[in-house]
Chain A
């Protein structure tokens, strides 16, 4: 490479960051939808929805950034994943549409309010499942030839991706319940304390299945983890430590810690996944460098990002600050 420095790794970091931001932030609000049918009563559902109403569309913007950012920095990912996951992407989008409009419509409906409850719950579940299946499909890899996807429409749908799909549903529900612990009080908060350990156990179960299963479907992953002890073993250990922190914090009825520790659990699991697959971005054939766009395009966008992103993070933080504290009634 004749460029002064390698932007590909920097871009891997930026996209990785955007995806993580999306998972954490839309995770807790998709989680509200997943938990919706099980909420104690209708009043609780109002509060659950209100707790995320001011921020959900900002959260989903990270998904759009992930999509557009991939097209900019790693176009091969965009042009292989989306055709390969064609049906799954449609289901995810349909889910996001229904849950997105439910925010506006539910509060304006009377007799049809229960329909929007179901749209919110069903849409959130389907979107979360589809995203989890994408993670599974990434681990499985894609059938490509000459930089083009050549597999079938439903190749991605396997028992493994169903498990990862359900795993992410449980994970988002966990983010959602710990968010509720932080943002609510009284009966709803007590309910969230009660279900959090159950959700955590479900997440850990999937975590275990995936960890055991992945090395057997992918020789590269097996070698990475079992050819001697390396620093990456710290990642699953830290993830499990975070899970322990969630348990302990719930037991002690702490309010902020469960959410923070759940974010840690997500972060270290995600880093562990990336460590398994590095440097393959479109497995099994293409690495980060194969998938990257032109140097001048990466540079052009990077310069803008360095300038704009601090502002973006600043005013997002500010908008969260405005809506800080416990959610009582509605600001709708």
Chain B
């Protein structure tokens, strides 16, 4: 069998980027949460804020570490597997990624050290400042990387000369037409992710009656956030969808499973898109609803996949279903926000075990939503690497063979499987240790006997598995 470096490289990129994405989407929101906790601690002096902060900083450290190492991989992927793309777009991509490094990565790295290890070495105000800088760094980072990504969807402000892109307008290329929507959508996704993880873990603590005073406050904050953010995300997602309809109609056609341009297009609740025969099987639909959502007119015209040749269409089945998974997760999030509000009267949200167990499960939902959202937008751009300008095949590294690509694909899967399972395992250890372990007397101290505070405190936990 002939190994195709193109397919293998695409699988590899999808794999490493999905693996990477789950960490920053969590840490961006969590960094802000920690900064808020530190600020409350600084302002009120109430020790429970610091108890919460110490615990979530432990969680942050593990997740951020995995984000950093998987992120270093990303910065080399463009060159190893997509060198033609990198070379052609370097005049734009290079400065944007470099700005990300100097304005965000260094900020995060330097202040993270102070946040994690410096509590006893700097005044509390400086420690708070470090927490804010880490949170700020995560946002600046997403600003630049989403500018780069958005340009691949909605290229603007560039001119192509002799196969190389030159930047005609930095403003147009960075603030390209889809950037604002993508940034808002991703920022809200990060806050929602942190809110649901905090809610899920805290719900578990509350069911075990651990550190109730602090954990009740954490759950309350996260439920208020979910109540506001989840509907806001639905709204922003809708605007982002309309923006996509304007600039990348074939992606929307694939999301809707709409093969033929028409008016009064139904919304498909279920279908099995059959790309070979350019049709859907087993459709369950609500008449005219897709037209209404996309054009705000029951008889509005919605573009269909028949507007381009089949080899210029994205893989419909993947885009169609990933979109439905994302939307379903979003709806569940809204429901949990409303349930939290309803149960708030009389403090029932702290007692209702079905709700608390539901929150535990829901802590996975933002990750599923974010990954399926990225699959929609990235797969929906296919076969284009830069929309309607450069295909995946044109961007590939010419010297890359199928064997080389297979070797590293298997390699990355093996490495990440080990790292990820260990990461999840230690994250569980941190969760089991809870606020009690994170606040144990000797943590963060600099004395001789405390070389291995976490492991000492967790000795019985790991042994008890």
Which chain A residues lie closer than 8 Å to B118 at the CB level? 54, 322-323
Q: Is the CB of A319 within 8 A of B79?
A: no
User: If the complex has contacts A73-B94, A87-B407, A93-B72, are A308 and B103 also in contact, measured as CB distance less than 8 A?
Assistant: yes
User: If the complex has contacts A72-B97, A104-B426, are A57 and B68 also in contact, measured as CB distance less than 8 A?
Assistant: yes
**Stretch touching chain B among A200-208, A209-217, A242-250, A298-306:** A298-306
Q: Is the CB of A96 within 8 A of B86?
A: no
**Stretch touching chain B among A76-84, A162-170, A272-280:** A76-84
A22 to chain B, nearest CB (A): 12
B1 within 8 A of A: no
User: If the complex has contacts A300-B167, A300-B170, are A101 and B422 also in contact, measured as CB distance less than 8 A?
Assistant: yes
Which chain B residues lie closer than 8 Å to A89 at the CB level? 76, 80
CA A315 to CA B426, docked complex, whole Å: 31
B415 within 8 A of A: yes
Q: Is the CB of B116 within 8 A of A54?
A: yes
Which chain B residues lie closer than 8 Å to A38 at the CB level? none
CA A54 to CA B122, docked complex, whole Å: 14
B357 within 8 A of A: no
| Most chain B CB neighbours (cut-off 10 Å) among A73, A76, A148, A322 | A322
B105 to chain A, nearest CB (A): 5
Which chain B residues lie closer than 8 Å to A108 at the CB level? 62, 426, 429-430, 454-455, 458
Which chain B residues lie closer than 8 Å to A113 at the CB level? 455
B23 to chain A, nearest CB (A): 11
Complex interface bits, B293-310 against A, C-beta within 8 A gives 1, otherwise 0: 000000000000000000
CA A89 to CA B400, docked complex, whole Å: 14
Chain B contact residues: over half helix, strand or loop, or mixed?
helix
Q: Is the CB of A67 within 8 A of B76?
A: yes
Which chain A residues lie closer than 8 Å to B404 at the CB level? 86-87, 153
Which chain A residues lie closer than 8 Å to B65 at the CB level? 57, 100-101, 103-104
User: If the complex has contacts A64-B75, A71-B93, A87-B408, are A316 and B106 also in contact, measured as CB distance less than 8 A?
Assistant: yes
Which chain B residues lie closer than 8 Å to A71 at the CB level? 78-79, 86, 90, 93-94, 97-98
Q: Is the CB of B446 within 8 A of A319?
A: no
B453 to chain A, nearest CB (A): 6
CA A153 to CA B167, docked complex, whole Å: 33
Chain B: residues with Cβ within 8 Å of the partner, total of 85
User: If the complex has contacts A100-B68, A293-B94, are A57 and B101 also in contact, measured as CB distance less than 8 A?
Assistant: no
B457 to chain A, nearest CB (A): 10
User: If the complex has contacts A149-B83, A312-B106, are A331 and B91 also in contact, measured as CB distance less than 8 A?
Assistant: no
Complex interface bits, B392-424 against A, C-beta within 8 A gives 1, otherwise 0: 000001111101100110011001000100110
B459 within 8 A of A: yes
Contact among A57, A58, A60, A97 with B419 in the assembled complex (CB-CB below 8 Å): A97
Closest to B65 in A: A104
User: If the complex has contacts A72-B94, A149-B398, A332-B453, are A86 and B113 also in contact, measured as CB distance less than 8 A?
Assistant: no
A147 within 8 A of B: yes
CA A96 to CA B412, docked complex, whole Å: 13
Complex interface bits, A52-69 against B, C-beta within 8 A gives 1, otherwise 0: 011101101101110111
Interface residues of A in 19-59 (CB under 8 A from B): 43, 46-47, 50, 53-55, 57-58
User: If the complex has contacts A75-B86, A107-B454, A109-B426, are A61 and B70 also in contact, measured as CB distance less than 8 A?
Assistant: no
User: If the complex has contacts A58-B113, A300-B170, A322-B122, are A79 and B69 also in contact, measured as CB distance less than 8 A?
Assistant: no
Interface residues of A in 308-322 (CB under 8 A from B): 308-309, 312, 315-316, 318-319, 322
A84 to chain B, nearest CB (A): 7
Which chain B residues lie closer than 8 Å to A322 at the CB level? 113-114, 118, 121-122
B164 to chain A, nearest CB (A): 8
A110 within 8 A of B: yes
Which chain B residues lie closer than 8 Å to A55 at the CB level? 113
A151 within 8 A of B: yes
CA A67 to CA B445, docked complex, whole Å: 37
CA A316 to CA B407, docked complex, whole Å: 38
CA A149 to CA B84, docked complex, whole Å: 10
B444 within 8 A of A: yes
Closest to B462 in A: A110
Size category of the binding interface on chain A: 35 or more
A191 within 8 A of B: no
Interface residues of B in 99-152 (CB under 8 A from A): 99-103, 105-107, 109-114, 116-118, 120-122
User: If the complex has contacts A90-B411, A322-B114, are A297 and B459 also in contact, measured as CB distance less than 8 A?
Assistant: no
CA A65 to CA B91, docked complex, whole Å: 16
Which chain A residues lie closer than 8 Å to B397 at the CB level? 83, 86, 149
CA A330 to CA B111, docked complex, whole Å: 18
Q: Is the CB of B90 within 8 A of A150?
A: no
Q: Is the CB of A82 within 8 A of B452?
A: no
User: If the complex has contacts A75-B94, A97-B69, are A82 and B426 also in contact, measured as CB distance less than 8 A?
Assistant: no
CA A148 to CA B72, docked complex, whole Å: 24
A121 to chain B, nearest CB (A): 16
Q: Is the CB of A109 within 8 A of B455?
A: yes
Q: Is the CB of A72 within 8 A of B453?
A: no
Closest to A302 in B: B95
B113 to chain A, nearest CB (A): 4
Closest to B86 in A: A79
Closest to A144 in B: B399
Q: Is the CB of B80 within 8 A of A151?
A: no
Q: Is the CB of B73 within 8 A of A93?
A: yes
Which chain B residues lie closer than 8 Å to A13 at the CB level? none
CA A301 to CA B167, docked complex, whole Å: 12
CA A72 to CA B111, docked complex, whole Å: 26
Contact among B84, B109, B411 with A79 in the assembled complex (CB-CB below 8 Å): B84
B91 to chain A, nearest CB (A): 4
Starting from the known contacts A71-B98, A104-B426, 17 additional A-B residue pairs (CB-CB under 8 Å) come to A53-B117, A71-B79, A79-B83, A86-B399, A86-B404, A90-B408, A90-B411, A94-B411, A97-B70, A97-B73, A153-B403, A297-B94, A305-B98, A319-B114, A323-B113, A332-B451, A332-B453
Can you spell out 8 A-B residue pairs with CB atoms less than 8 angstroms apart? Answer: A67-B75, A72-B98, A86-B408, A104-B62, A113-B455, A152-B399, A294-B91, A319-B114
Interface residues, chain B, with chain A CB atoms under 8 Å away: 61-62, 65-66, 68-73, 75-76, 78-80, 83-84, 86-87, 90-95, 97-103, 105-107, 109-114, 116-118, 120-122, 164, 166-167, 170, 397-401, 403-404, 407-408, 411-412, 415, 419, 422-423, 426, 429-430, 444-455, 458-459, 462-463
Shortest 8 CB-CB contacts between residues of A and residues of B: A72-B94, A75-B90, A82-B79, A54-B113, A58-B109, A71-B94, A100-B69, A79-B87
